[in-house]
Chains A and B, each alone.
Chain A
Amino acid sequence: MHISNRGKLKIAALVLNLVLLIIGIIYLIPFIWMVLSSFKLNADVLSIPIKILPRTWNFQSYPNALNYAGYNFPRYFFNSFVVLVFAVLLCLFLSATAGYGFAKYKFKKNKLLFVVVMSTLMIPFEAIVIPLFLLITRLNLQDNYLALIIPGGLTAFGVFLMRQFFYSIPDEIIEAARIDGATEWQIFCRVSMPLAKTAVLSLAILHGQWVWNLLLWPLIVMSKPDMRTLPQGISLFSGVYFTPYPEQLAISVLACLPTLILFIFLSRNFMEGVALTGLKT
């Protein structure tokens, strides 16, 4: 029996998709385990033998988690959210302006300054934590949102990404606007930026997930319980004597939700956006 080329292709496609599906599921397993376990009773989470599905569904873990031991989790969510929004906005502003400046203007030392900015990628955050902390205390910003927002909005990667993107905007459009008498800033806002929507979106997502996950820096600079961020809060669950696993998992699931929802809705735009930043040859 001779299988036609078409047939071969179909079989190949079938096999490929099966493999890919399995791979996808493997990537999802820890997440699924996390969600299922958050509904178990504490004793069942680590019980032997392993129970995949909860023996008894423990819906209490979620409400319990939100106010466990007086930890004000809704407040931590709020803190993380505030920091996220402003840090991302700051990042977008800095990356867009700097990226545009480096890409579209040929001033002296353009390349040199760009290298200087890129070199900050090599600075390990842990290395500058202490000097940065001292700086923050000197500015009297500890336990203040700004202490998280400002460092959180600085990323050379964003500058790189936006510069790449702005390279791809034809100079003619900008020239035309100049001839029409627009100032540089107006050109930036009205001509270049609207074209950058998808790039901006991708940067927002890529950088946003980093900000959302900040652990060490908030640990050091925020001591007031009210100002804690979400990752800090989650790590608090590991009590010295008693770890309420379902509650800790429940909070972890809740912590994933915002980014997850955003991602599901924006994923198409996101992938395209990264593509459009022109990682060209």
Chain B
Amino acid sequence: MKKKSIGIQKATYYNRLQKQGYIFILPTLLLFSLFLIYPMLDAFRLSLYEWNFAGSPLYIGLKNFIKLFTTKRFWSSYSVTLQFTFLSVFLLMFISFWLSLAFTSKLCWFKQLYQSMVFLPVILPMVAIAVVWKFMFQSTGLLSVVFLDIFGWNIPWLTSTKVAPYTMVLVNVWKFTGYYMVMFIAGLLNIPDVYHEAAKIDGAGFWRRLVHITLPLLKNTIILVFVSCAIFSFGTFALQYVMTGGGPSRSTEVLTLLIYKEAFEYTKFGYSAAISVMFFLTLFIFSIIQLKIFSSEAEV
């Protein structure tokens, strides 16, 4: 029997040990592949066909994409989604950041209470939220009346193509502020107080501490919030589906809604799949750009 040197024995033991990792990730890989990755690849394949769910699919190559690129409705939906995403990300990050600062400040008395109040919308079902906000936006609803009586403005929340997109952002921000606030709070709690104490002793005021201590140490959290907020907002569905159905006049018709309509109302499954491909590619390019910019910092 050959005797392996201790060194090599250690090495094989080490390798075997590390290989155990495969077992741990196996269930996830299997299920993700079957139920997420495979359907996405199938959607890619489907985008090259014309299919109305009855009968067999008809291969038409890139025709769906050509149609897509030359249809106003697609580009309009794309820009609606982009506009919604930009506004939501900006407002959500801004508001949740400042709230998280406020809620972790020593001056704050009822931290738990405030945090819970702001987090509440996150756990409420979207359907219920849509019902309530729709009420409040009707021209005799709470918000319309309040604004009319106090400011004299008659705001067409959901009936103007110019106002409706902003209304959607408003409800979206209301719903998810708490979610990102919690992430920021988590990040803030991980900054040891000593840093701030030391800085204060050195005479640093609020703003200096913010810029030189808090923000740099919060970098990972900020990146995480930015990326997840962007991806999540881009894929918004339930809010628009329940509140406006894409209206008025397609002004709130986001990409996911268009994907749904083309497939389930117009039975153009191939075309719908093509739109999904564009959706995926957009996020893919976004992720790559984001990785390139932040790759030096993020520990991904």
Direct contact of A and B (CB under 8 A): yes
Residues of A within 8 A of B (CB): 9, 12-13, 16-17, 20-21, 23-25, 27-28, 30-31, 33-34, 37, 45-50, 93-95, 97-98, 100-102, 104-107, 110, 113, 115-132, 134-135, 150-151, 153-154, 156-157, 159, 178, 184, 188, 209, 212-213, 215-216, 220, 230-231, 234-235, 245, 248-249, 252-253, 255-256, 259-260, 263-264, 267-268, 270-271, 274-275, 277-281
Compute the total of residue contacts between A and B using a CB distance below 8 Å: 289
Minimum distance in angstroms from B277 CB to a CB of chain A: 8
Q: Interface majority SS on B: helix, strand, loop or mixed?
A: helix
B102 touches A271 (CB 8 A): no
Within 8 A of A (CB), among B104-138: 105, 107-110, 112-129, 131-133, 135-136, 138
Shortest distance in angstroms between B41's beta carbon and chain A's nearest beta carbon?
8
Contact A101 B21 (CB under 8 A): yes
Report yes or no: A17 in contact with B256, Cβ–Cβ below 8 A: no
Shortest Cβ distance from residue B185 to the other chain A in the assembled complex, whole angstroms = 6
Partner of B276, one of A95, A124, A235: A124
Q: How many residues of B contact A (CB 8 A)?
A: 102
Other-chain residue from B18, B21, B112, B135 in contact with A33 (beta carbon distance below 8 A)? B135
From B29, B39, B241, give the contact of A215 (CB < 8 A).
B241
- Point out the residues of chain A lying under 8 angstroms from B141, CB to CB: 46, 50
| A25: contacting residue among B28, B117, B132, CB under 8 A | B117
A27 / chain B contacts, CB cutoff of 8 Å: 117-118, 120-121, 174, 177-178
* Minimum Cβ distance to chain B for residue A105 (Å): 3
**CA separation between A257 and B287, bound complex, in Å?**
37
Known: A16-B105, A124-B280. A252 touches B35 (CB 8 A): no
- Is B210 an interface position by the 8 A CB rule? no
B126 touches A274 (CB 8 A): no
Contact indicator A256/B125 (Cβ below 8 Å):
yes
Q: Is the CB of B28 within 8 A of A159?
A: yes
Could you mark each residue 8-49 of chain B with 1 if its beta carbon is under 8 Å from any beta carbon of chain A, else 0? 000000000111111111011101101111111011001000
Q: Check if A249 sits within 8 Å of B132, measured CB to CB.
A: yes
The distance in angstroms between the C-alpha atoms of A240 and B267, with both chains bound, is 23
Offer 21 A-B interface pairs, CB within 8 angstroms, sorted by A: A13-B107, A27-B121, A34-B131, A45-B135, A94-B31, A105-B21, A105-B24, A122-B283, A124-B256, A128-B36, A130-B263, A131-B46, A184-B23, A215-B127, A249-B131, A249-B132, A252-B132, A259-B123, A260-B120, A270-B182, A281-B217
